Amino acid sequence: MQHEKSRQLDERARRVLAGGVASEFRKSAQPLFYESGRGSRITDVDGNEYLDFTLSQGPLILGHSNPQVLQAVQEYSERGQLFAGQHLQELELAEKLHELIPCAELMRFSLSGSEADHTAIRLARATTGKEKFLRFEGHYHGWFDNVAIGVSAPDEAALGSRENPEKIRWTKGLPARIEEEMIVLPWNDLELLEQTVAAHQDEIAAIITEGVMCNNGCIPPRPGFLQGIRDLCDKYGIVFILDEVITGFRLGMGGAQKFYDIVPDLAIFGKAMASGYPISVLCGRRKMKGGKPLMELIEKGEVIHAGTMNSNNPSVAAALATVQVLEAENVHPRLFELGQSLMDKLREAAREANQPLLVQGLGPMFHTGFTDETEINDYRGTFAYDKAKLSHFIGAMHERGLRVIGRGLWYISAAHTEADIDEAANIAGEVLREMGSA
């Protein structure tokens, strides 16, 4: 494969775009420029076509350029782009989400997951009158100041003790003492969580977690872990924030909360909700179980949430169309089936090639990494992965026209076919065999 046009454009981009990209996560050893995407395929400016399992970091649950979504966006945009007032489609979308998402009594739309996560933490503080929130190592809740600690670490030793982890800053530019705003813990350890929350109950406004840990590995919650969070939050008057930016519309129409049957106080949806158009939703209970006002504080303007572009017509149209197609075509059983089939085939290929490939996840999204471990349960566990080997694996698949997220995550879309799954498994198998004999 040759990438000469991308190389030239990258050179040009670096003169005007910081780092040549629009998001930190797009930096790569081989930055590519893309020209078009259709169904399960994406094409770069050099004419190379890739079978795509990145789905633009998750949003493209219907694949690239879904015709119903594009048509809805076009039709609704022709009537105007942004009314700075209410409109029927926004209401219809809210009513639909209210019907689908267990905790969605009241909601507000924003543009990104980061904004909605930020609002959720502000709201939890206002509701409880407490200041700290508890988050888990290696989870990602956007790039804003309040959650830019505990995201990653250079190595396992840097994380410190499990009971009292180091508060590792992800970026320069954070205010002094921001570490005091949060408690960080390893995920999936209910006993440790119970002890910590009991000791700090008077300070903790919220516990925030991904439903499935997808930003490092693809790690399901241990049985009882999410319920344990629910119980602790009820016991101590803490707001349970479920970050469904990845799990929302991916595990099913009601997200991880429906899938695992755990109703949080607040939840954030984004990504797969609108096929790549900018919209997210913060939804939650009007009041906490004990009667304290929650979303009601936004309703009354006591907690501020705003945004010029919120509920813009193209994004709302895209979300409505995406939800309609997901429902009408009953997409989720197929995502699980195709994902499971690809996971099985990758395991089989790794066995044949004698490669220690751990394939972990649920189907609609899963992770591949090289380790002798048979299960990874938290961020600390992910240091058992051989990162150099993974990056070789991903790079070699890419050279053969198979695109997977650099950290080893695969997303399945409704546009993927069984033939795509076979093609992906064959390419991965070829690379694994080659690696085995190297």
Ligand X SMILES: Cc1ncc(COP(=O)(O)O)c(C=O)c1O
Residues 95 to 114: which contact ligand X by CB under 6 A?
112-114
Query: Which of 278/401 has CB closer to ligand X?
Result: 278
215 binds ligand X per the rule CB under 6 A: yes
Least distance in angstroms from the C-beta of 399 to ligand X: 26
Among 118, 141, 250, 367, binds ligand X (CB under 6 A): 141
Query: Would you give the DSSP letter of residue 175?
Result: P
Q: Which residue lies nearest ligand X, judged by its C-beta?
A: 113
117 binds ligand X per the rule CB under 6 A: yes
248 binds ligand X per the rule CB under 6 A: no
Least distance in angstroms from the C-beta of 348 to ligand X: 29
- N-terminal to C-terminal alpha carbon distance within the chain: 21
**Taking Cα atoms as reference points, which of 189, 226, 207, 214 lies closest to residue 266?**
207
137 binds ligand X per the rule CB under 6 A: no
Residue 350 contacts by C-beta under 8 Å, 6 or more apart in sequence?
Answer: 356, 357, 359, 432
209 binds ligand X per the rule CB under 6 A: no
Least distance in angstroms from the C-beta of 120 to ligand X: 10
**Taking Cα atoms as reference points, which of 207, 221, 350, 212 lies closest to residue 265?**
207
Among 107, 183, 245, 424, binds ligand X (CB under 6 A): 245
Least distance in angstroms from the C-beta of 195 to ligand X: 26
**Taking Cα atoms as reference points, which of 161, 160, 139 lies closest to residue 150?**
139
243 binds ligand X per the rule CB under 6 A: yes
Asked if 167 and 182 touch (Cβ cutoff 8 Å), the reply is: yes
**Look-up of token digits 């990258």:** 10
Q: Residue 430 and residue 39: Cα distance in Å, rounded?
A: 24
Query: Which of 6/247 has CB closer to ligand X?
Result: 247
Among 10, 189, 210, 265, binds ligand X (CB under 6 A): 210
Residues 345 to 384: which contact ligand X by CB under 6 A?
none
Query: Which of 245/282 has CB closer to ligand X?
Result: 245
The span of 82-90, 139-147, 197-205, 301-309 binding ligand X (CB under 6 A) equals 139-147
60 binds ligand X per the rule CB under 6 A: no
Query: Which of 157/306 has CB closer to ligand X?
Result: 306
Among 140, 249, 269, 385, binds ligand X (CB under 6 A): 140
Cα 120 to the center of its chain, rounded Å: 16
Among 246, 282, 295, 319, binds ligand X (CB under 6 A): 246
270 binds ligand X per the rule CB under 6 A: yes
3-class state of residue 29 by DSSP = coil
**Taking Cα atoms as reference points, which of 333, 173, 342, 341 lies closest to residue 253?**
333
Angle of helix 88-100 relative to helix 313-328, nearest 10 degrees, comes to: 40
**Taking Cα atoms as reference points, which of 310, 379, 317 lies closest to residue 119?**
310
Q: Residue 74 and residue 284: Cα distance in Å, rounded?
A: 31
Residue 269 contacts by C-beta under 8 Å, 6 or more apart in sequence?
Answer: 97, 101, 116, 244, 245, 248, 249, 255, 280, 281, 283
Least distance in angstroms from the C-beta of 168 to ligand X: 18
Query: Which of 274/295 has CB closer to ligand X?
Result: 274
What count of other Cβ atoms lies within 10 Å of the Cβ of residue 158?
Answer: 12
Least distance in angstroms from the C-beta of 114 to ligand X: 3
Q: Please tell me the count of residues contacting ligand X according to CB under 6 A.
A: 13
Which residues of the shown chain bind ligand X in the complex (CB under 6 A)? 112-114, 117, 140-142, 210, 215, 243, 245-246, 270
